[in-house]
Amino acid sequence: MKNHTLILSTAKVTIPDVITIDQVTNLINRGLTGIEYFGIELDNDADYVDDDMKAACEEITFIEFFFETEEAINYEALSIEEVNELILDLIKKSARIDIEADHKDVTLYLHLSK
């Protein structure tokens, strides 16, 4: 299995105490997200994020997806539309989705059906 990380961003939105997958897919479907990162799992961001970057990040909502696939993904070959289609398809195929959220960011762990 290949591990993947997708980080989308959007202008800061207030995340409710309980967020649903429908709220997340609504942001993607409305074209309100951009790709910050798509690739293998990242190292600890504390190793390279400085104070200015932290301040800028306070104005952005990040939506992080972690998932596995059987096959490798050619990250650079995909357009934003193709990435959006891929993640929406993976959401539909997920047997379980674990969602963690704070006041401004969302993390999703997609557990795909086997």
For 82-113, the pLDDT digits (tens) are 999 999 999 999 999 999 998 889 999 999 87
What tens digit of pLDDT does each residue of 78-89 get? 999 999 999 999
pLDDT tens-digit profile of 19-67? 999 999 999 999 999 999 999 876 665 544 566 677 777 889 999 999 9
Interatomic CA distance for residues 25 and 62, integer angstroms = 13
Per DSSP, the residues of 12-78 read --PPPSS--HHHHHHHHHTT--EEEEEESPP--GGGT--HHHHHHHTTEEEEEEEEEESS---GGG-
Please report, for residues 64, 87, 114, the alpha-carbon distance to residue 8 in angstroms, rounded to integers and kept in the order given.
6, 11, 26
Predicted TM-score (pTM) of the model is: 0.89
**pLDDT in the model for residue 15:** 87
Domains of the chain, residue spans: 2-112
pLDDT at 89: 96
